[in-house]
Structure 1
């Protein structure tokens, strides 16, 4: 009973059970009846505490995951510049933009152009206007004379060429100064869920 007085209810119950097995009498039985309810309450509190601790840990981990995702989305959004046409100067820049667009599940239109190309000069203002209209789509522009290695990798044989890219993979292409075709591809692929 001394252990019960010290608040060690589990130890007291264990000792009383052993005593009851060795030498059963009414005094042990009455003390056991006093101690056992406290043992059950302590066990219930332990289970409740453990459940609440697990819930708190899960909530904390979920909040951390949400915070990290929000940071990634914010960083990706800063790179993509909605409403603007981004001029590509390197393969690394292109990969960085594709990664950011993939995180945000955005369609990317990659416009291959050249300064000497007449139809490209016609499509330049059209492309800029489309970028302002479709802010949920990422518009990139690449000069094939300055970035020939990228143009070669994308199998560009004539300009202007517009590649529709989702998750870094080309899903469609418009070759030539086809304003209507480009608008149709943007409408088709820009609205679908990736």
Structure 2
């Protein structure tokens, strides 16, 4: 994975399959749709979380553009945030709930987390 901390948008199943194989890092998938109002509202907070937690990698997944991945992940509502570590799903947050997402990130990072506080 690159050191670029920008949130990348996954374009296809191949990209998803490559990202999911990465070991040792917490990976957060922001499953969204362009027509989803709450998805747009929470975007700035997701950007802040991605910058605050330097030990994580955030990826956006447009469920309308990559429906096979959305179906594989059983995404039924947007936004849905899925946290993966070592190829396994470790947490899921359904809805525009930045506090719940941050709690899930903290719970799954372990003791080596780098974080700068950004309380909502």
Normalised TM-score (structure 2): 0.87
The 5 Å alignment of 1:1-194 reads 76=1, 78=2, 81-99=3-21, 101-102=22-23, 105-191=24-110
Q: Give the superposition deviation at 1:141.
A: 0.4
Q: Give the superposition deviation at 1:83.
A: 2.2
Matched pairs, number: 112
Q: 1:92 to 1:180 in 2, by over 3 A?
A: same
Unpaired segments ≥5 residues, structure 1: 1-75
Q: 1:146 to 1:167 in 2, by over 3 A?
A: same
Unpaired segments ≥5 residues, structure 2: 113-120
- What are the Cα deviations for residues 114-134 of structure 1, in whole angstroms up to 9, with x where unaligned? 010010001111111111111
Partner SS, residue 172 of structure 1: strand
Separation in 1 of the partners of 2:71 and 2:92? Answer: 15
Greater relative contact order (Cα 8 A, min sep 6): structure 1 or 2? 2
Normalised TM-score (structure 1): 0.55
Q: CA RMSD in A?
A: 1.4
- What are the Cα deviations for residues 12-31 of structure 1, in whole angstroms up to 9, with x where unaligned? xxxxxxxxxxxxxxxxxxxx
Structure ID, larger Rg:
1
